[in-house]
Amino acid sequence: MREIMHRDALREAIAEEMRKDEHLFLMAYDVGKYGGEHRISGNLYEMFGDLRVKDAPISEQGIVGCCIGAAITGCRSIVEIPFMDFMPLCMDMIVNQAAKLYHMFGGQMNVPMVILTAAGGYIRAAQQHSQCFEAWVAHVPGLKTVMPSTPYDAKGLMKTAINDPNPVVFIEHKKLLPMKGEVPEEEYEIPFGQADIKREGTDATIVATSYTVHLALQAADNLQKKGISVEVVDPRTLVPLDKATILESVKKTTKLVIVHDAHVTGGFGGEIAAIVADEAFGYLDAPIKRVGAKWTPIPFPSVMEDYVLPGLDDIEAAVREVVG
């Protein structure tokens, strides 16, 4: 099977859906001839023109508001907010408009839009370009929250997101965008709420999201050499969340480590831990461990960022602690 980069898988999904629906458009700053801040839009401008790949002023609130208006009048839109750090500038539009209109109008109005954004550190981008706000988004009823970890997942989930009748926040990790992976040439979709077991194991479960899935897999490889078998579960979507797959894995291994590069305090890992404590407590043979960023803004110097963000040593130590 061919291998393509994460960003190319996203572009391919968008292009396929734009060919099917002339009312689907992409809007953001720098998505036109420039090809996007992260080169996700690439050559879409040449393929579809400036009426459907629209450069916009640097106003996140204005871009999102425009696309909400287009969505409720019959179009479908993809909004790119290049860095998730900038989403606070348009959270009022997302939280109080996009997420609410379907419910406020008793199901008579849909808001079919994808808010594509990039989160996460590990790229030395400092405090204002390295944050992970997925827990903030997942807390809002009316928003779906997607976090792929592979090009295959990115393409399939993007196609599902575009065809969803209501708003989806699609969170990419900046570290993943140039990463290559196998993607079939034929079209496919991946349903929301369907986790993927990236590696099977028997001694402990790691539930990891986005880029940290790859760290978890590396940690599992290292631990296997020491006789510890680790299962790695990738939820792929936080809302809806595939509780069943997570719970079944924990019931099998009886130990759980949760990994994300968002801060531990208030991170979505706390929600997963609470679900397991509520619904599978009797199966646990050790306390649940959470691994994430330390409680400080993400620093710029490499040695400091490496200290603050979770790494292989942190994950392996957590697994060894629960295995005993």
Is 173 among the residues known to form the active site? Answer: no
Catalytic choice (6, 38, 103, 129): 129
Give the pLDDT of residue 292: 97
SS3 call for 115 = strand
Domains delineated in the chain: 3-182 (3.40.50.970), 196-323 (3.40.50.920)
* Rounded alpha-carbon distances, angstroms, from residue 173 to 84, 123, 187: 10, 10, 23
pTM: 0.95
Spatial neighbors of 195 by CB under 8 A, at least 6 apart, are 233, 234, 235, 236, 242, 245, 246
* Rounded alpha-carbon distances, angstroms, from residue 12 to 87, 101, 118: 25, 30, 17
| Bridge partner residues of 259 (DSSP) | 208, 291
Tens-digit pLDDT string for the chain (324 aa): 899 999 999 999 999 999 999 999 999 999 999 988 899 999 999 999 999 999 999 999 999 999 999 999 999 999 999 999 999 999 999 999 999 999 999 999 999 999 999 999 999 988 898 899 999 999 999 999 999 999 999 999 999 999 999 999 999 999 999 999 999 999 999 999 999 999 999 999 999 999 999 999 999 999 999 999 999 999 999 999 999 999 999 999 999 999 999 999 999 999 999 999 999 999 999 999 999 999 999 999 999 999 999 999 999 999 999 998
Identify residue 195 by its one-letter amino acid code.
Answer: A
Give the pLDDT of residue 246: 98
